[in-house]
Amino acid sequence: MSTTKKIQSALISVFSKDGLEPIVRKLHEQNVTLYSTGGTEEFIKNLGIPVVPVEDITSFPEILGGRVKTLHPKIFGGILNRQDNESDVQQMKEFDIPQIDLVIVDLYPFEKTVASGASEQDIIEKIDIGGISLIRAGAKNFKDTVIVASVNEYSLLLDIITEQDGSTTLENRRLFASKAFHVSSHYDGAIFNYFNTDETIYKESIANGQVLRYGENPHQKGFFFGDFDAMFKKVHGKELSYNNLLDVDAAVNLIAEFKTDGPTFAILKHNNACGLASRKTISEAYLAALACDPTSAFGGVLISNTKIDLETAQEINKLFCEVVIAPSYDDEAITVLQEKKNRIILVQNEVELPSRQVRTCLNGLLIQDRNNITDNKEHLKTVTVTEPTAQEIEDLIFASKICKNTKSNTIVFAKNGTLISSGTGQTSRVDALIQAVDKAKAFGFDLNGASMASDAFFPFPDCVELAKKAGITAVIQPGGSIKDELSINYCNENNLAMVFTGTRHFKH
């Protein structure tokens, strides 16, 4: 039997009629018999095109307020029959079941209804039964049936039936079946997640993936699954790479810590801040952030917590950087930043980030809640005789916000609303501290009077000893070591102020 099949009949039953008219007109032009239900039937009639109500096939009306329309053997027999199976062919004749070659169907908007905050009753009514059954039936019998389960496939269908004069190949039908099973599995996943209360079961389906140029390195394939356009408006520049996206993610998470602060600018490289400062103007904040480490800033990702103006854009334009992110820009600023052809310029939208973080591990996944705790003054417990000054408290909180978003083990130095230096991703906290001291010295920063943050507790007093020698006067850490007293005693003996937060901020 030929694998190329002519469409002679079609069942069309859709919730949304957008984009349907050209297909209906083309099918009518090709003398295809159309079957339909309810609102779709009325839509086709209004186009002046003949349509056969499903009730004429089933001899049974819609019941239960429209909950049951197409669930009938004469409908599903027409879709599921195997045209090369003699028994199926005989039963089709015996029960007078019409052949259905094409099914066009979509599903009730369950996810949109949930997102709208609708009542549970309204949400339940948006769980599609007939539609999902039609999709699965058509997809299962792809050898004989064409299934179109989404408006996203309308243009593909129209192209095929136009170019192939109403015929489809087995390859065409298998492709539509694959897309249909994606629609059905995604839909079922959304329904399950609405009902699921068992945190040990994880299901995720993301429909809008994109192919990246490559992964972390050119020999690795790379993909991004998510709604980038919901988070950002890209106004200029080349396509973002895998590494760009990782840095953008780190930048967004970091600047969120300073959302309600004054003008703050951050520069990141390899997911870590190499410059960050808060000032009275965003231009001053940028220049101060750049001064933290102008070497690492080369090729970095830049992000602001407020509008970027012309003055700031002119300064940024002197630096080679991959990405610039801000909630808004002056028109003149955009014009200046666009002078570099490949520079990516993003406008960040207000979008809630996922409450959980997921990463691959061994032959499975690791999932955890997002670290939503940002240390603030209310969290601080002074554990030393010497209390931090008001300015030191500001710097301690400032340093802690950066520390939380820096790879462990990490130590961060801050002074007067400026990142002085940090030690990142070291195998020991002492190494991280030594790295931070050396880096501060390399760029000519005076650590006298600076504040220090650590992402985890000090098991020994060696870190506070080194900090004191470097000029640090105040320390913030979570506390919780069985040997906390050793560090506390050293601070008391050497006039260091130290506060505990009670919250560890490991980031691996």
Catalytic residue among 17, 26, 126, 140: 140
Q: Alpha-carbon distance 367 to 502, whole Å? A: 23
The span from the CA of 187 to the CA of 201, in Å, is 17
Instruction: Please identify which of the residues 6, 234, 270, 379 carries the catalytic annotation.
Output: 270
**Cis peptide bond N-terminal to 409, omega within 30:** yes
Widest Cα–Cα separation across the chain:
98
Q: Collapsing DSSP states into helix, strand and coil, what is residue 381? A: strand
* Closest C-alpha to 413, from 451, 439, 441: 451
**Does the annotation mark 341 as catalytic?**
no
Handedness of CA 116, 122, 127, 128 (dihedral sign): negative
Alpha carbon distance 492, 183 (integer Å): 64
Q: Rounded distance, CA 232 to CA 326, Å?
A: 10
SS3 for 121-144, per residue?
HHHHHCCCCHHHHHHHHHHHCCCC
Rounded CA gap, 501 and 481, in Å?
Answer: 13
Element (H, E) at 485: helix 484-493
- What residue has token string 């310029």? 345
Burial (CB count <10 Å: 0-12, 13-18, 19+), residue 372:
exposed
381 is catalytic: no
For 486, phi and psi rounded to 5 degrees? -65, -45
What are the structure tokens assigned to 230, written together?
């919901």
Cα(407)–Cα(253) distance, rounded to whole angstroms? 13
Residues composing the chain? 508
Q: Looking at the annotation, which residues are catalytic?
A: 140, 270
